[in-house]
Structure 1
Amino acid sequence: MASTAHALHILVKHKEQAEDILKQLKKGAKFQTLAKKHSTCPSGKKGGDLGEFRRGTMVPQFDKVCFSCEVLTPQLVKTKFGWHIIKVLYRT
């Protein structure tokens, strides 16, 4: 079972905006470009890069997606911070 993950994310306030960003990604838009443009998280300036983190470091909903979703496939999840589009780059 993986104990660390490296992920990118885009944080927005509204589900509609998150769904729109997800559609743009599916059409080939660059994740980092959209993160810089739309993310309200400070990591947005770095293209949404959260770096590598341990299981249990992030809020439960975010953590669950990072350690169970398909790698490199953007996922949508809601937390107390808002709506996240998460792209896991790898797990170790």
Structure 2
Amino acid sequence: MAKTAAALHILVKHEAKAQELLKQLEKGANFQTLAKKHSTCPSGKKGGSLGEFRRGDMVGPFDKAVFTGPILSPIGPVKTKFGYHIIKVLYRT
């Protein structure tokens, strides 16, 4: 079972916006470009990069998505108390 992961994410306030961004990603849009333009999280300035973190460091639904979802494919929208996330897991170790 993986103990750490690295991921990018885009955080938005509304599910409809998250769905719209997910569709753009499925059509080949660049994840980091969309994060810089749309994410309300400070990590957006870094293309959505959250770096490496341990299991349990993030809020429950986000953590579950990162440690059970596919690697290198957009996951979401994932709802947390912060809003709606589109997540791209880079790796798990």
TM range (shorter): over 0.9
State the SS of the aligned residue for 1:51.
strand
Q: Which amino acid aligns with 1:81?
A: F
| Paired position in structure 2 for 1:45 | 45
| Paired position in structure 2 for 1:82 | 83
TM-score by length of 1: 0.99
Query: Any idea what the Cα deviations from partners look like across 1:54-74, whole Å, max 9, x if unmatched?
Result: 000000000000000010111
CA distance in 1, matches of 2:70, 2:50: 17
> After TM superposition, where is structure 1 displaced by more than 6 Å over at least 4 residues in a row?
none
CA RMSD of aligned residues (A): 0.3
CA distance in 2, matches of 1:60, 1:18: 19
State the SS of the aligned residue for 1:67.
helix
Q: How many residues align?
A: 92
Gaps of 5+ in 2: none
* Percent of paired sites with the same residue: 74
Q: Shift of the alpha carbon at 1:81?
A: 0.2
TM-score by length of 2: 0.98
1:29 lines up with 2:29 in the alignment: yes
Gaps of 5+ in 1: none
